[in-house]
Amino acid sequence: MTAPIEIIRRTGIVPVIAIERAQDAVPLADALLEGGLPVAEITFRTAAAADVIAAMHEKRPELCVGAGTILDQASLAAAIKAGAAYGLAPGFDAAIVAAAKAAGFPFAPGIMTPSDLTAAAAAGCRLVKFFPAGPAGGPGFLQAISAPFAHLGISVIPTGGVTEENLADWLKLKAVVAAGGTWVARTEDITAGNFAEITRRARSAVAAVARARGN
């Protein structure tokens, strides 16, 4: 089985999704897969997150589904139990990083500063989430703070302020393996059952990655 981080690397874009109802899990998974996106991040910003991940994991195993916004041990445990393939957080919490490592669970803590990167590197992290990517300073800022850590082989997923229009600016950075974006599967489209629009946006995002990578 392909490692989730390799799937993310190949795909280049991770839809960051807040979904309110578990009943929408499978239609959402189908919309993403039809649009050519085999990966998703379901955030623990809603009460339905664990049930959504479990439904996707069971009924659409071809979708590499991860858990986002893991802010505490309970969310981490729920994500692992639900079958999440990987996890991410907006910030760095050494206890959560340690617990994920002990469970053998691929996990990317959030960073925004060189101090955050130092802490993540010291904890053994080689994949991090740069958040909030746009407000924090954009691609130029990430390039500057990641340069001193390049020899450690740390990879980055910028999220927050990433759009299809600026996606190429992020993907051209050597440290960036993929970018996280909320525009592909918006909560309002999921709630309204507008899955055709999600498929359209997924296809467009896949095409944008291909253009950015020169494929």
* Catalytic residue check, 197: no
Candidates 6, 41, 59, 62; catalytic one: 41
Residues 6+ apart with CB under 8 A from 86: 4, 5, 8, 64, 66, 67, 105, 106, 107, 108
Candidates 81, 129, 164, 197; catalytic one: 129
Following DSSP, what letter does each residue of the chain receive, concatenated?
---HHHHHHHH-EEEEE--S-GGGHHHHHHHHHHTT--EEEEETTSTTHHHHHHHHHHH-TTSEEEEE---SHHHHHHHHHHT-S-EE-SS--HHHHHHHHHTT--EE-EE-SHHHHHHHHHTT--EEEETTHHHHTHHHHHHHHHGGGGGGT-EEEEBSS--TTTHHHHHTSTTBS-EEESSSS-HHHHHTT-HHHHHHHHHHHHHHHHHHHT-
User: Cis omega before residue 114 (within 30°)?
Assistant: no
* Catalytic residue check, 129: yes
Q: Does residue 173 contact residue 153 with C-beta atoms inside 8 Å?
A: no
- Catalogue the active-site residues: 41, 129
